[in-house]
């Protein structure tokens, strides 16, 4: 993988979508201008579907899915035309669910820059009592400077991980290795994705990212009972190996405080904040309607 900035990456996906001719992945994508019709369709969608998502995290992820299906006009070599009501189609929404997690988040991130600019403002209180920012202030992060890991042409999307403690699967076969790959977006829509172990590991990630076992060809899906049999040390290692394999954007803000302290905070990407409260009022007159460059 190669680490670059969002400004350098531009309108290129970290991983990419399959070409229609089956010859590899294409990273290019384009965006539509963010118009009020998008908000209208998202609001209508939430009103109809909110009850299906029992946990707040799944509803936020579903809103992001709907937004990406509306804001994108092309993925790879495939154009995405909206219907006669300027709405996305069910096929487009399903396509987003099947995309790589890293790619969906990157499109969402770039849509924020394209529509509202690169400045992301949030409240901050410096822990140093001698600092003027200790009583509270607002700081601005340049989104275009965020780091993003991208997949290079010869980088593998899958790897084998050896288990420290082999276990027997549902067929009674001793499993010694897992073939893993990065997560796809649809795992964020599963309630279990937000039910983690004490170490913060999502077992839904294990079910999605483990794609095969040694001694058996093709796709292999772990059952809950099989995951229960995996040693905790192997669970932690698989989680770490999966994250190290995955490209994607660094969703942290890194800024120097007025006192010189390095401030590192998680980026709040919830729709209402990312596309609302984080937008500096002073920037309203500076945003252009471009969707092709950073």
| DSSP-assigned states of every residue in 252-271 | EEEEE-TTSPEEEEE----H
Kindly state the percentage of the chain with pLDDT values over 90: 43
The Cα angle at residue 158 between residues 153 and 161, in degrees rounded to 5: 140
Q: What is the tens place of the pLDDT at every residue in 61-77? A: 899 999 999 999 999 88
Task: Kindly state the DSSP code that residue 204 receives in the 8-state scheme.
Answer: H
pLDDT score, position 197: 52
C-alpha dihedral (289, 290, 291, 292), degrees to nearest 10: 170
Give SS3 for 84.
coil
Q: What is the tens place of the pLDDT at every residue in 214-259? A: 988 888 988 888 888 889 899 889 888 888 888 899 999 988 888 8
At 292, is the pLDDT very low, low, confident or very high (cuts 50, 70, 90)?
very low
Give SS3 for 60.
helix
Alpha-carbon distance of 32 to 226, in angstroms, equals 44
pLDDT score, position 160: 94
Give SS3 for 213.
strand
Average pLDDT over all residues of the chain: 86
pLDDT score, position 294: 37
- Decide: pTM greater than 0.75: yes
Name the maximum alpha-carbon separation found in the chain: 65
At 178, is the pLDDT very low, low, confident or very high (cuts 50, 70, 90)?
very high
Q: What's the mean pLDDT in 171-186?
A: 92
pLDDT score, position 287: 47
Which range is most confident: 46-55, 114-123, 190-199?
A: 114-123
Contact 217, 135 (CB under 8 A): no
pLDDT score, position 214: 92
Which residue ranges make up each domain of the chain?
2-151+255-286, 159-245
pLDDT at residue 56 is higher than 50: yes
Q: What is the tens place of the pLDDT at every residue in 196-223? A: 554 555 677 778 889 899 988 888 988 8
pLDDT score, position 21: 85
Q: What is the tens place of the pLDDT at every residue in 98-115? A: 999 999 999 999 999 999
Alpha-carbon distance of 228 to 238, in angstroms, equals 14
Give SS3 for 231.
coil
Write out the two tokens for 81: 């035309």
């Amino acid at each position: 993988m190669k680490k670059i900035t969002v400004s350098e990456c531009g309108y290129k996906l970290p991983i990419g979508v399959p070409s229609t001719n089956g010859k590899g992945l294409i990273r290019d994508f384009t965006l539509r201008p963010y118009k009020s019709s998008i908000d209208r369709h998202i609001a209508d969608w939430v009103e109809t579907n909110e009850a299906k998502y029992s946990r707040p995290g799944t509803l936020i992820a579903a809103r992001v899915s709907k937004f990406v299906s509306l804001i994108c006009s092309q993925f790879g070599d495939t154009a995405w035309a909206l219907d006669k009501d300027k709405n996305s189609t069910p096929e487009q929404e399903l396509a987003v669910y099947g995309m790589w997690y890293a790619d969906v988040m990157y499109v969402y991130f770039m849509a924020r820059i394209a529509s509202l600019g690169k400045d992301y403002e949030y409240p901050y209180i410096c822990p140093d009592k001698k600092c003027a920012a200790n009583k509270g202030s607002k700081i601005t992060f340049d989104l275009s400077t965020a780091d993003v890991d991208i997949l290079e042409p010869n980088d593998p999307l899958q790897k084998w991980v050896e288990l420290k403690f082999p276990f027997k699967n549902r067929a009674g076969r001793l499993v010694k290795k897992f073939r893993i790959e990065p997560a796809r977006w649809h795992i964020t829509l599963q309630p279990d994705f937000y039910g983690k172990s004490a170490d913060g590991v999502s077992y839904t990630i294990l079910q999605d990212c483990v794609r095969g076992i040694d001694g058996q060809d093709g796709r292999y899906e772990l059952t809950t009972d099989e995951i229960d049999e995996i040693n905790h040390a192997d669970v932690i290692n698989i989680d770490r190996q999966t994250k190290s394999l995955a490209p994607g954007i660094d969703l942290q803000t890194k800024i120097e405080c007025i006192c010189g302290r390095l401030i590192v905070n998680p980026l709040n990407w919830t729709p209402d904040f990312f596309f609302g409260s984080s937008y500096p009022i002073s920037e309203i007159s500076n945003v252009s309607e471009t969707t092709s460059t950073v």
